[in-house]
Amino acid sequence: MSTRRPHPHPDAAWDTRGGAAHPLHRIPGELRRVPEITVYFWIIKLLSTALGESTSDYLVYHINPYSAVALGGIGLAAAMALQLAAPRYVAWIYWLAVLMVAVFGTMAADAMHIELGIPYLVSTSFFALALAVVFVAWYARERTLSIHSIVTRRRELFYWATVIATFALGTAAGDLTAFTLGWGFFAAGLLFVGLIALPALAYWLLELNAIVAFWFAYIMTRPLGASLADWLGKPHSLRGLDLGDGPVSLVLALVIIGFVGYLTVTRIDIVGEHRDRTSQLGASTT
């Protein structure tokens, strides 16, 4: 009788940088530039995509659009400079960078349609191609696309280029579904709920590669979060609940601050520390 092989650990890729092969999960946590992938990672990621959508829309429609884009660009540059200057992963710095990518990525995708008149189908295709180019260049240079291998400056730059492309792609894809295809925000959100579940099911049932599953889910969080934010904030004429982009942004920001504060205190998103503390707790009770 054949036995089903166990699912590979998400870190079960091999890093060969410097000629020495070693499992990625053995890379010390203090060297990594990104968080451990936990349920909190996905929660904050989804909330940040929603906050990026509502904040971008609020700024663009309440101040001069060009000034809003300029502010978004300055905020992104400052957040990225802070992230790249940090000696290692720091929760609030990392998530501030993600949020500013969400805000500016939304503005970039919207500007292509609103200011330049580019159809959502074209912009979606463009950003999908851009993301593919980044992935190919990243893998060709580093031989891995694992988030757990982000321990050098070059890999981190590839990582953030990928993140920016995924946010722009997700924004364009969400608008394509809601507006061009006429699904509306709520129905589009349900569609992306189903799509984001696919990589998890494929990973557990069909042994889909963990890195492929991660990036597919990562891309899907953007249109899902944006659809949620638009459904909550947009007026009834656009099939939204008309809560307003401003109030939605404020509530989302407070929730994210709460989660990031929890991670800062508990440090459960830092590789190795949570496992070490759990082991110490178990030893102290025996």
Q: What does the pLDDT read at residue 272?
A: 60
Q: What does the pLDDT read at residue 81?
A: 96
- The structure tokens listed for 83 are 């992230």
Q: Is the pTM of this model over 0.75?
A: yes
Q: What does the pLDDT read at residue 22?
A: 38
Q: In the structure, what pLDDT confidence band is assigned to residue 215 with cuts at 50, 70 and 90?
A: very high
In a domain, 5, yes or no: no
Higher-confidence residue of 285 and 68: namely 68
Q: What does the pLDDT read at residue 280?
A: 40
Residues 6+ apart with CB under 8 A from 152: 17
In a domain, 185, yes or no: yes
In a domain, 180, yes or no: yes
Residues 6+ apart with CB under 8 A from 133: none
User: Which residue reads 């925000």 in tokens?
Assistant: 185
* Percent with pLDDT over 70 in the chain: 84
Which of 131, 114, 133 shows the shortest CA–CA distance to 167?
A: 131
pLDDT digits (tens, 9 = 90+) for 226-259: 999 999 999 998 889 999 999 999 999 999 999 9
Backbone angles phi, psi at 77, to 5 degrees: -60, -45
In the chain, the number of structural domains is: 1
pLDDT digits (tens, 9 = 90+) for 28-40: 555 788 999 999 9
Q: What does the pLDDT read at residue 77?
A: 95
| Mean pLDDT over the full length of the chain | 84
The yes-or-no verdict on residue 275 having pLDDT over 70 is no
Containing 15, the helix (H) or strand (E) segment is: strand 14-15
In a domain, 109, yes or no: yes
DSSP state of 146: -
Backbone angles phi, psi at 22, to 5 degrees: -155, 150
Half-sphere exposure of 129 (CA within 13 A, CB side): 6
In a domain, 16, yes or no: no
Q: What does the pLDDT read at residue 109?
A: 75
- CA dist list (Å): 163 to 99, 100, 127, 223, 249: 11, 11, 12, 14, 21
In a domain, 60, yes or no: yes
d(CA 181, CA 256): 31
- The structure tokens listed for 251 are 């509530």
User: Which residue reads 């939605």 in tokens?
Assistant: 248
Q: What does the pLDDT read at residue 5?
A: 42
The yes-or-no verdict on residue 42 having pLDDT over 50 is yes
d(CA 89, CA 96): 12
> Which of 22-26, 130-134, 203-207 tops mean pLDDT?
130-134
Q: What does the pLDDT read at residue 28?
A: 52
CB 100 within 8 A of CB 72: yes
In a domain, 99, yes or no: yes
d(CA 238, CA 218): 27
Range(s) of the domain holding residue 257: 27-284
CB 148 within 8 A of CB 11: yes
The yes-or-no verdict on residue 59 having pLDDT over 80 is yes
The yes-or-no verdict on residue 274 having pLDDT over 80 is no
Residues 6+ apart with CB under 8 A from 124: 169, 172, 173, 176
CB 180 within 8 A of CB 123: no
pLDDT digits (tens, 9 = 90+) for 153-211: 999 999 999 998 988 888 888 888 998 899 999 999 999 999 999 988 999 998 899 99
Single-letter residue type at 152: T
CB 218 within 8 A of CB 170: no
Which of 51, 171, 196 shows the shortest CA–CA distance to 120?
A: 171
In a domain, 19, yes or no: no
